[in-house]
Amino acid sequence: MTINPSGWRPASPSDVHGEVPALGPATMTGNRALMLEEPLLFEIGSRDQTGVDFDFTAAAGAERVGALRRTSLDLPGLSEPEAVRHYTRLSRQNYAIDLGLFPLGSCTMKHNPRLNEKVARMAGFADVHPLQPQETVQGALELIDTLAHWLITLTGMRAVAMSPKAGAHGEMCGLLSIRAALEARGDARSVVLVPESAHGTNPATAAFCGYKVEDIPATAAGRVDLAALKARLGVGGPDCDVAAVMITNPNTCGLFEPEMKAISDAVHAAGGLVYCDGANFNAIVGRVRPGDLGIDAMHINLHKTFSTPHGGGGPGSGPVVLSDALVPFAPLPYVVKTGDGYRLVEEETAQAEGSDSFGRMVAFHGQMGMFTRALAYILSHGADGLRQVAEDAVLNANYVLRSLEDVLDAPFAGSGPCMHEAIFSDRGFAEGFSTIDVAKGLIDEGFHPMTMYFPLVVHGAMLIEPTETESKASLDQFIVALRSVAGRAKAGDETLKAAPVFAPRRRLDETLAARRPVLAFRTPAPDGADSGEGAELGGR
């Protein structure tokens, strides 16, 4: 396969398949051209100075804080240019969506239009405070209510809980609503069924909510085994112990569940309810309404579908849309429109008749910045634009799948088109080579690695989600790079074991770093002395 995008030429075969290129003579500074070697902050500054000068005078009177008086922070003193340069140099060693394609996909790394960032910073949104009187934040409440309307419209559901702060928090909201609904009808059930390929938060959330978790097996095609599910449900009725199923659709193998409606019908017939993990809603938004598939509750990761940056663990937002069966049990607080404007219902005594909320999940209503970005994204795209977002995400993933299936094992390539992500395995690599080698080789090629070893149902999984915003040219460049690295792994090219050779740091023991992190700096001892933990940091 030959790919030659306009304006871009891959390295010659000798560059990518031959010996590891010589890095040239060592430099005195450790810098390599404009890639600057950066020591630790503690190695730059001195503890016996600060960035400013103070005139120290005797304290007047008695100490007011007694034993709580600060003695020494033991921090290095740096001038302002030194501090700015340090963090700027570190930032240059990060990979970012503004530098290139992120095969990790929309989980955290899709492009977010700058328009949405600008709107989120407008006065009245950026500086709103959760303790302001409600009459002073009518615009913010109207925005929340408008976003809720569109989330309900896009999903075909009846209501939405806006307060959950992330996907896993949304799962908890959905399952607590389901538990409240079952308890209200006097039907205490104890089991939640979860597919083998589910996100890890699904079984964790079910267990946290007090349920026993059982697996739903998958077919060879990577989808839920409907016959096995029906067999586990049995005849239903009061003897059935299944409270709910948690289905991700599209699933974590990058495949749509074509029997989703049949799954929902079977669960409902057995007296259970259906929770859908909406983490992959970006693949079907504008194309499929989950409510039409019999879903009772589904969280929406605003950061995945509607342009809320979520890198580094937060902040997030995971509204949960609900069916008729769960509307009365939605959590507090929620926004209602009255003749005088908008208000938050925050107390159970203030609810409408017939409501039976399971309670309050959070102190305040939600993430205002996340809501603002999401609504700006929805309104700027419109119905046709949102539909195209899903179509382009699916098109890009299928382009990657079909461009690589001849060099990488694609376990579900025969199951038809994938959705927003393509999955490959390490099958066919030379002995001793695995997914981690391909990931490290991609770093040398200038790309952040794809999602590795997930889902667990695929050995040595490589999950690639290009998102809807990547051009064909950028995909072609990534494909050429990955084909080269995969070819080296299949050929047993030992130079791949050394990768990355061009990164600021080589292969790290990530497991040891996670289990035994060194959180305090100790000045390295002189050469030849027992330096202990400090040498590990000082020598790097």
Same domain for 429 and 325: no
Total structural domains within the chain: 3
User: Are 402 and 509 within one domain?
Assistant: yes
- The pair of three-digit structure tokens given for residue 120, joined into one six-digit string: 């989120």
Contacts of 249 (CB under 8 A, 6+ apart): 256, 257, 260, 276, 277, 280, 284, 290, 293
Are 88 and 197 found together in one domain? no
Last residue of a domain, one of 311, 344, 376: 376
pLDDT by residue (tens digit) across 264-310? 999 999 999 999 999 999 999 999 999 999 999 999 998 889 987 76
Judge if 317 and 247 occupy the same domain.
yes
Residue 267 falls inside a structural domain:
yes
Q: What is the pLDDT of residues 328-371, one digit of tens each?
A: 999 999 999 999 899 998 887 766 666 789 999 888 887 899 99
Which CATH number characterizes residue 450's domain? 3.90.1150.10
Say whether both 277 and 396 belong to one domain: no
What is the rounded distance in angstroms from the CA atom of residue 191 to the CA atom of residue 212? 5
Residues 308 and 397 in one domain: no
Rounded CA-CA distance 91/85 in Å is 10
pLDDT at residue number 373: 92
Residue 18 domain flag:
no
> Which of 173, 180, 179, 181 lies closest to 191, judged by CA?
179
d(CA 165, CA 120): 17
Residue type, 497: K
- pLDDT at residue 527, rounded to an integer: 65
Residues in the chain predicted with pLDDT less than 50, given as ranges, are: 1-20, 530-540
Domain around 35 = 27-49+75-93
